[in-house]
Amino acid sequence: MDHQHDVAAFKREAKTGTDTDLKSWASRTLPTLEEHLTLAQNTASKVGAGGPAAKSATKGTKGGTKQP
């Protein structure tokens, strides 16, 4: 989720930023962040983390472990 928030923030800055240097940097950095997001999503899907299944697996649990 951190990657998603970062990508959204960088997209917003690249499109609507008022500081030209920061806007330019965000535009140049955005493709790298998007690639990291894709890699994170692919990894999460391979290990079964981060999706709806992961959320339901910990539902009704405390600290990520099932309670007796």
pLDDT at 66 over 60: no
46 vs 40: CA distance, rounded Å: 10
Of residues 51 and 64, more confidence is placed in 51
Whether residue 12 is contained in a domain is answered as yes
What value does the CA radius of gyration of the chain take, rounded to a whole number of Å? 17
* The pTM of the whole model exceeds 0.75: no
Q: Is there a domain that residue 8 lies in?
A: yes
pLDDT in tens, 11-61: 999 999 999 999 999 999 999 999 999 999 999 999 987 655 444 443 444
DSSP 50: S
**pLDDT of 51:** 56
pLDDT at position 24 is: 97
The residue segments making up the domain with residue 25 are 2-41
Domain count, the chain: 1
30 is a domain residue: yes
Is the residue at 34 inside a domain? Answer: yes
